[in-house]
Amino acid sequence: MNFQFITYFSLLVFLMGIFGIFYSRDIISVLISFQFILISAVINFLGFSQFLYQSSLWDEIFIIFGIASIYFLMFCVISYFYLKLDLLDRKVLNRDFKLFKVERHDWCGEDEI
Amino acid sequence: MDFLISISEKTNPLQGVMVLSFAIFISSFFVMSESQAVKRFIITLFSVSLILAFYLNICSFISAGNFSNVLLSFENLQMIEISIIIFCALNLLFFISTYCMESRHFIKILSIFLFSTICAIFFVLARNFILMFVTLTIFILVIFQLMTVLNSKTDRIKPYIIGFFLRPVLTVILFFFGFSLFYGATDFKDFNQILQSEYISNPLIASGLIIFIVAVYLYLFLFPFQGSYVRLTRRNEVSSNAIIWFSYFPVGIFMLMKLDGLLGFFIENNNIYAYLLLAIAFICITAGSLGAFKTNSLRRIISFLFLFFIGVFILNISMFSAGIITGPLLSWFNIGNIFLIIFSFMPIYSVLSILEKNTGSDSIDSIRGLGRSNIYLGINLTLIFLSWIGFAYHIGPFIKYFSGTGLLQSGILNLMLLIVTAIAFIFLLINTFRIVIQFFKKPHKSVTEKIVFPGFLYIYVTFFSLVILAAAVWGLLKILNIDIGIMNFEIAGF
């Protein structure tokens, strides 16, 4: 396993994450796509550390703090989603959470409640 | 007296954080209490601690000057940014106390809110990448918690809150990825080290910077990603909107300002970035103004005008990239713009939210005739709205620049920039006068006449009006080159 392979693999995982963000509609798929980007960043950190900086400690500290804080944030979002949620409440479960969806009334006209 | 002087000499910017932490510690003993007296005590305690933190922040800078270590950096700009955060927190305390005093979770809400202020302060102070990243993530987390607890009465809003917060989550993940790319270029741990090293021209740094800019763009909900933001602000509880505008957005702007140095380096070396930034600024400003103009909902108008003013920050960076303003002046323009936003939107929103509470509608028709039924508030609000004409300070550097080089010899980028600035100013004037005219129109019904505004609101609005009036007079005297000799401070910026 060489450095070039790790870099390309990381790029591939990142692009999968980006594709997932554009494509996914439900919240679980969106969060899984986020994790692809996260994994890609971790691969970058570990790969660069191994091949360029002789396994320095700094990247490991960054990974631990970064992963812990991001997962805590994502955990809060997902637990809020399922909080007091009746599983039969299809309206919320099937809601479109597409991240980059643009509708006309989002920037022009009225938004009826 | 000597004792006080010795305390003053030992002040440190972190002492403000300690004061705020101590206030949270005391409030933790009362979180289950629902007594009104305890709630009033906690409001007083938090107000005093915020005022003390504000004082310590400025005092430590005056007595000890700049200070930096491996994790933190405290300079002139940081001192101003922290002051802005604490001032906003003090005003948000006012909003939360006005609208959530009856809530069972009131003291918990205040504790979480003060914790978010501490996170924001640490984010501004942070120099090291790890601290910067962790404080930003925790700040977003705390704002998310605040938003959910403030809207706990209605389940209907849940999808909108989640839809809103998916973008900040993506922002921190992209930040994490950006830092990993920086790590591939160099093992330096802060932006200043990278800026001063030979690694700055490494392509990985440029890629990381592009990822950062995209992340900040998503965080600030700029065009065309504003959908979830405007949908949430339309449905949100009143003080939650204030938290988004006066706590969440300023941190995003400070994040953008942290990247100014690196961005400046790449813009100077490649002209394409300057054109790209100009196009983005134009799109953001146009979308913000047209969005505000095409709606009758006051909440949506304020939301879109916020996006307009965030577009102005990008316009400032474009002016810097074209060489019209210098680096230090860019920081002053950004700070001036933040002051303009905070000092105008806070009183406006406080009055409009009370109007909405009384009329039950956030339609622009509900402010119709307010200037006739309540002349004092009408005049004050008109004055505050007209403060947006202060945006004209952007034209000053152009006049200075073109008088040196000549209009036709200055290049196409600079001419385009001048046109965009003029268009932005016209859009702003249209939106300002659209609202101001409503104040003095004859009302359809006599609804506004029946509204009794609380006494403290008059004091609150008067304070902001006086500050705006003083700034306007001071700026005008500076432009006319009349030295009043109050302070060695350039308010007009050019």
Same-domain pairing of B222 and B352: no
Q: What CA–CA distance (Å, rounded) separates B360 from B256?
A: 37
Domain count, chain B: 3
Domain-terminating residue out of B258, B281, B311: B258
Identify all chain A residues contacting B297, using CB atoms and an 8 Å cutoff: 110-111
Mutate to test the interface with B, among A7, A79, A80 (most CBs of B within 10 A): A80
Complex ipTM > 0.90: yes
Beta pairing partners, B72? B126
Same-domain pairing of B159 and B276: no
Q: A106, B130: Cβ pair inside 8 Å?
A: no
Instruction: Annotate B76-113 with DSSP letters as a single string.
Output: HHHHHHHHHHHHHHHHHHHHHHHHHTT-TTHHHHHHHH
Q: Is the pLDDT of residue B457 over 70?
A: yes
Domain-terminating residue out of B76, B93, B125: B125
Same-domain pairing of B50 and B121: yes
Q: B161, A81: Cβ pair inside 8 Å?
A: no
Task: Give yes or no for B172 touching A (CB within 8 A).
Answer: yes
Task: Give yes or no for B363 touching A (CB within 8 A).
Answer: no
Domain range enclosing A83: 3-106
Q: A61, B174: Cβ pair inside 8 Å?
A: no
Domain count, chain A: 1
Same-domain pairing of B358 and B464: yes
Same-domain pairing of B120 and B142: no
CB B493, CB B332: distance < 8 Å:
yes
The residue among B105, B90, B82 whose CA lies nearest residue B27 is B105
Buried b / exposed e over A75-109, threshold 16 CB at 10 Å, is: ebbeebbeeeeeeeeeebeebebbbeeeeeebbee
Q: Is the pLDDT of residue B492 over 90?
A: no
Neighbours of B105 (CB within 10 A): 15
> Going by C-beta distance under 8 Å and a sequence separation of 6 or more, which residues neighbour residue A90?
none
CB B328, CB B402: distance < 8 Å:
no
Domain-terminating residue out of B67, B100, B125: B125
Digit-coded pLDDT (tens) for B66-103: 888 888 999 989 999 999 999 999 999 999 999 999 88
Same-domain pairing of B165 and B96: no
Domain range enclosing B245: 128-258
Mutate to test the interface with B, among A48, A49, A51, A74 (most CBs of B within 10 A): A48
Same-domain pairing of B148 and B201: yes
Instruction: Annotate B431-481 with DSSP letters as a single string.
Output: HHHHHHHHHTSPPSSSHHHH----HHHHHHHHHHHHHHHHHHHHHHHHHTT
How high does pLDDT run on average in chain B?
A: 88
Mutate to test the interface with B, among A32, A69, A71, A101 (most CBs of B within 10 A): A69
Same-domain pairing of B315 and B220: no
Identify all chain B residues contacting A72, using CB atoms and an 8 Å cutoff: 137, 141
Is there a domain that residue B401 lies in? yes
Digit-coded pLDDT (tens) for B107-133: 999 999 999 999 999 999 999 999 999
Same-domain pairing of B317 and B457: yes
Digit-coded pLDDT (tens) for B188-236: 888 888 888 888 888 999 999 999 999 999 999 998 889 899 999 999 9
